[in-house]
Chains A and B, each alone.
Chain A
Amino acid sequence: MPAQPKILLLDDDQDFLDLYREMLSQHLPSMPEVRAANTGARALSLLESEPFNLLVVDLNLSKMDGLQVLTIARRKYPQLRLVVLTGIRDEQFRTRAYALGVDQYWIKPETDQEMGLFMESIEALISREAQAGFRGVQSKSLVDIIQLECLSQSSCMLKITNGVTEGKIYIQTGEVIDAELPGMTAEPAFQRILSWKNGSFETLPPDPTRVRTIFTSYQGLLLNTAQAIDEAASLEQQPAAAENDTASGTAPPPATGVAALLADVSQIEGVEFVLALGHEKNQSKNFWGLQNPKPVAEFTRQTLENFRSLGERLQVGELQHILGTGSQRKVAVGSCGKSELCVGFPPSLSPEQVRDAFKNILSKWAS
């Protein structure tokens, strides 16, 4: 990415483009290079031909609307920062824009003060380096955030979200007192949350009634966790016999990697079967509790692919999961990192129990 930040403006109003191009290029401290496009097709072609740091999009465009542009831009350029700048004051479009992964949604400024805030936010966005990490505090790892809270003797609850999984870390006057994930608490939950490579977090008020379950100092906890993560990483680097396709009836792989994970997941109450697939069609499938995994694998892959593409068409953001109810069993289907999962449950479980159990499984898989 060039040293001088580059912004691409997309709007079908030429006056707007001229005005904002001038303001952004001349009044922002970072003096960005600002390019403009008056159609979605033109914007996508510019993105294809040169790198940009930020795309500012109006939603209300002829032919290809702003949501379509955002959908394509987010998929093709995941590092590109996206801002909506529109006159549309509609809660649904705001929700859908955020669901598509925009960084900010702005109503076109109408006063000096609003314009000032807009300019500040744009400057803040383009001056950050795009790095892996937790959104909320740029360039900081979760360990940094916890150290920061503990060193300042804070009391708070950190809510950390990784995909559909939500974890909580409770900090009381500078000490980590508890952690929570679906189906898991205390130190194991803390270690699992810290093993997440990215996500987002929120600092919420402390819960004074929370019972302390962790008595190790935060330094000790962080050391233990780092050690556990290192050990897990070294296990993954070993030749993974577990990655072989076990559908052919070959001997079961040793209990490492995916096989160990399958064994772990199969212990969750109510789980009748688990099928895990790689994203690519020819990649391996691993399963537990299934006699004939092939048709279930086809159902899983096809259904996820179809509904993902439907989601793009409707511009409703990421497909989170699919829950199915039948007379013989309930199923949950979803993606987690590079895996696609299909899990069977007994029909007696309520939809909420199935959803919670599936989130629990996704959380184990994500870690």
Chain B
Amino acid sequence: MGFLSRLFKPADLGLVHLPAGSFTLDREGRVMTSTLPRSFPSEHLNAIGEQVLAAFRSAKKAQLPLSEIIIHYAALKLLARELGGGAMVFLMPQSLNRLASVALKKAP
């Protein structure tokens, strides 16, 4: 069934690869600096920034002022540090291999 190999297509860049890196936001949510590749959509950066700043503000309103928030998803960890009303955000994609190796290290 070697003919199947013709069905193989190279990866399309339409899918967004999650990069590791960081960016900073001012208090209005504008991206000031970024170490993330330009291929990462600015809409995603803005969306992350918006939610991070909203979380800091909402926590403050609830009398729980926070200087750092870590958001754990199954495939991504976001770490946000408050910076004078703005924030610095780190993106840390998680991989199955890394998670498995951490689990193995923890196993008795």
Contacts and interface: CB of A to CB of B under 8 A. Distances in A.
A87 B74 CA distance: 23
A325 B68 contact: yes
B17 A115 contact: no
Contacts of B14: 60-62, 65
A98 B58 contact: no
B10 A87 contact: yes
B67 A60 contact: no
Contacts of A319: 71-73
A227 B70 CA distance: 40
Given A108-B8, A324-B59, A299 B64 contact: yes
A205 to B, nearest CB: 9
A288 interface: no
A109 B1 contact: yes
B108 A207 contact: yes
A77 interface: no
A298 B62 contact: yes
A328 B60 CA distance: 11
Interface in B30-76: 44, 47-48, 51, 54-55, 58-59, 61-76
Contact of B62 (A62, A210, A296, A306): A296
Nearest to A110: B5
Contacts of A65: 14-15
B15 A67 contact: yes
Contact of A327 (B17, B67, B93, B94): B67
B68 A316 contact: no
Contacts of A306: 51, 54-55
Contacts of B16: 315
A320 B99 CA distance: 14
Contacts of B65: 326-328
Contacts of B64: 296, 299, 324, 326, 328-329, 331, 344
Contacts of A296: 62-64
Interface in A32-58: none
Contact of B69 (A157, A313, A317, A324): A324
A321 B72 contact: yes
Contacts of A13: 7, 9
B95 interface: yes
A323 B15 contact: no
Given A108-B7, A110-B2, 7 more contacts: A16-B7, A65-B15, A66-B15, A98-B75, A318-B74, A324-B64, A324-B68
* 3 closest cross-chain pairs (CB), A and B: A317-B74, A99-B74, A99-B75
Interface of B: 1-2, 4-5, 7-12, 14-18, 44, 47-48, 51, 54-55, 58-59, 61-76, 93-97, 107-108
24 contacts: A15-B7, A61-B12, A89-B11, A91-B96, A92-B18, A95-B96, A98-B74, A295-B61, A299-B62, A299-B64, A306-B54, A311-B73, A314-B73, A315-B16, A317-B73, A317-B74, A322-B72, A323-B69, A324-B66, A325-B66, A326-B59, A326-B66, A328-B64, A351-B70
